[in-house]
């Protein structure tokens, strides 16, 4: 194979630019014909290779009908985020350099890019300047960030009982209590199942009507529990966007020596704003934090962040050794010490470029703008007879219910709400998903993309109202 890289890389850039140019008007939720997509992409494994230019062009064309316009300005499903162009470009460069960002010796520049990005993130999250030494790792997502933070907790809490969990495992170890809120994200349970801590042997703490952990219930549980304890709290409930009350929770936990881990996948980003920062008051006193960059920082997948205030425990839980793995004397430079992966891509590059491009003010404006759009949607939809907003809209999450004009029972409202959601998805102006909150079906809206403008929001609200009106008429 000859190295003729220019044409294929140029073509990929052109295809990417064409995709983004078309994005604002691309139908957000296309009807998908799975059989057609599969028929286009499924080719028999060939003995002989193909022209790289044709491979890339075919792949772009064949995949296109099944590519969701999730980075577009009117996609409000899950908590997705878009990708700021500088972050995409930095990601391309990182891929092109193809340096392993695990060891300093493998790529000094990769290590320094991630160290600088980590320092900026600590400042943005308000975690620096409190006299604590905060360790940082760049994971594939918040799921692995939760795993890593809880692995550090497991190490530290058992080490206090003279148990080295990394060498001895959990067999015969002191019992480690895990406390979670009733509304903890599934990711916490995924981390617990991988860490041998078990999804079901947790103590669940009652939540209030917004999904916030109840402090009185937590205090009662902590009084009952004996021995090492980790408490998982949440910055940003996936349905309501609500924050656990960190100040009293962390005080109660630390009084008894418990470790506090914060799942802040998207919610932790309010610490970088002026308008919503108060919601996360006290979060800086926790022991470990997990967040995503690919959600609200708007960098490409896959990109998560883990931080702890216990550098030694973090490193002990993640480090890997081997005779040929030459360690740097400054362990912070060997970026694999802070994440589950050994060899790894330089995912910090997209974070570095995105933070530089936006600056503190740009990041605050992006997050505050999303919250303003969510508020506007809740206000306009909530003003309509028969439409109910189920949550206090504190950040970017809104849950909406649509009452059946002929029958306002809970069951009928569930069915009618599903009909409106399906109509909105078919319409294609915007895309919103479904959730179940306290046994009630709701349309779930998450505004997390830097591209969404006030005009996009009005268009989307108009489309939802039109779908609602049409469903009422045909009901
Ligand atoms: C998205 C999310 C996760 C999981 O993060 P991934 O990026 O999917 O790995 C965990 N917790 C919360 C609250 C989330 O919103």
Instruction: Look at residue 72 in the predicted model and tell me its pLDDT.
Output: 95
> Which stretches of 366-468 are assigned E, i.e. beta strand?
387-389, 397-402, 433-437, 440-446
80 lines ligand 1 (CB under 6 A): no
Q: How far is the CA of 79 from the centre of ligand 1 (A)?
A: 8
238 lines ligand 1 (CB under 6 A): yes
Among 140, 142, 433, which residue has the most ligand 1 atoms within 8 Å of its CB, making it the best to mutate? 142
What is residue 241's three-state secondary structure? coil
- For 159-215, the pLDDT digits (tens) are 999 999 999 999 999 999 999 999 999 999 999 999 999 999 999 999 999 999 999
What is residue 107's three-state secondary structure? coil
d(CA 188, CA 182): 12
- Terminal Cα distance for the chain, rounded: 63
124-142 b/e with 16+ CB inside 10 Å = b?
A: bbbbbeeeeebbbbbbbbb
Instruction: Look at residue 328 in the predicted model and tell me its pLDDT.
Output: 82
Strand order in the sheet with 397-402: 387-389, 397-402, 440-446, 433-437
Residue whose Cα lies nearest atom 5 of ligand 1: it is: 142
Calculate the alpha carbon distances from 28 to 32, 84, 183, 219, 449 in Å. 12, 19, 30, 46, 14
CB-CB contact of 15 with 60 (8 Å): yes
The torsion of the CA quartet 207, 209, 211, 212, rounded to 10 degrees, works out to -60
Q: How far is the CA of 353 from the centre of ligand 1 (A)?
A: 22
Residue 196 corresponds to which tokens in the numbers above? 């041998």
Residue 276 corresponds to which tokens in the numbers above? 């919503």
Among 187, 190, 396, which residue has the most ligand 1 atoms within 8 Å of its CB, making it the best to mutate? 187
Instruction: Look at residue 329 in the predicted model and tell me its pLDDT.
Output: 81
d(CA 119, CA 255): 29
> Which stretches of 192-312 are assigned E, i.e. beta strand?
203-205, 229-234, 259-263, 288-292, 304-308
Q: How far is the CA of 106 from the centre of ligand 1 (A)?
A: 30
Place of tokens 């003010």: 361
- For 3-27, the pLDDT digits (tens) are 899 999 999 999 999 999 999 989 8
Low-confidence ranges of the chain (pLDDT < 50): none
Residue whose Cα lies nearest atom 2 of ligand 1: it is: 265
């Amino acid at each position: 194979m000859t190295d003729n890289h220019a044409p294929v890389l140029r073509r990929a850039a052109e295809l990417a630019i064409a995709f983004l140019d078309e994005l604002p008007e691309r139908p957000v939720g296309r009807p998908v014909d799975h059989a057609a997509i599969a028929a286009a992409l499924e080719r028999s494994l060939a003995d002989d290779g193909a022209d790289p230019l044709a491979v890339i062009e075919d792949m772009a064309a064949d995949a296109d009908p099944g590519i969701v316009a999730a980075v577009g300005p009117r996609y409000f499903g899950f908590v997705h985020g878009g990708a700021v162009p500088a972050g995409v470009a930095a990601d391309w460069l990182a891929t092109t350099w193809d340096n392993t960002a695990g060891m300093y010796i493998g790529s000094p520049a990769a290590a320094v890019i991630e160290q600088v990005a980590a320092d900026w993130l600590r400042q943005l999250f308000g975690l620096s300047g409190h006299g604590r030494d905060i360790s940082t790792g760049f994971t594939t997502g918040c799921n692995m960030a939760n795993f890593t933070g809880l692995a550090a907790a497991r190490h530290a809490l058992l080490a206090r009982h003279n148990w080295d969990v990394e060498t001895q495992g959990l067999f015969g170890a002191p019992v480690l209590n895990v406390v979670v809120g009733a509304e903890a994200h599934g990711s916490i349970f995924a981390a617990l199942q991988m860490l041998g801590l078990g999804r079901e042997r947790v103590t669940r703490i009652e939540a209030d009507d917004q999904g916030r952990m109840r402090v009185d219930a937590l205090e009662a549980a902590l009084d009952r529990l004996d021995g090492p304890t980790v408490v998982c709290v949440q910055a940003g409930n996936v349905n309501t966007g609500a924050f656990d009350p960190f100040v009293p929770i962390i005080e109660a936990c630390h009084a008894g020596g418990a470790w506090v881990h914060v799942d802040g996948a998207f919610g932790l980003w309010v610490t970088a704003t002026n308008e919503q920062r108060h919601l996360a008051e006290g979060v800086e006193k926790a022991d470990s934090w997990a967040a995503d960059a690919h959600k609200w920082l708007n960098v490409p997948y896959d990109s998560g962040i883990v931080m702890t205030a216990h550098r030694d425990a973090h490193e002990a839980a993640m480090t890997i050794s081997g005779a040929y793995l030459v360690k740097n004397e400054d362990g912070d430079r060997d970026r694999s010490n802070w994440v589950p992966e050994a060899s790894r891509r330089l995912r910090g590059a997209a974070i570095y470029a995105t933070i530089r491009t936006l600056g503190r003010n740009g990041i605050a404006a992006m997050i505050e703008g999303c919250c303003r759009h969510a508020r506007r949607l809740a206000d306009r939809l909530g003003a309509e007879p028969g439409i109910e907003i189920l949550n206090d809209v504190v950040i970017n999450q809104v849950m909406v219910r649509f009452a059946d004009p002929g029958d306002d029972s809970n069951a009928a409202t569930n069915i009618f709400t599903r009909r409106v959601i399906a109509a909105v998805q078919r319409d294609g102006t915007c895309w919103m998903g479904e959730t179940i909150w306290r046994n009630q079906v709701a349309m779930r809206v998450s505004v997390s993309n830097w591209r969404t403008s006030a005009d996009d929001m009005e268009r989307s609200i108009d489309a939802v109202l039109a779908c609602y009106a049409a469903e009422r008429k045909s009901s």
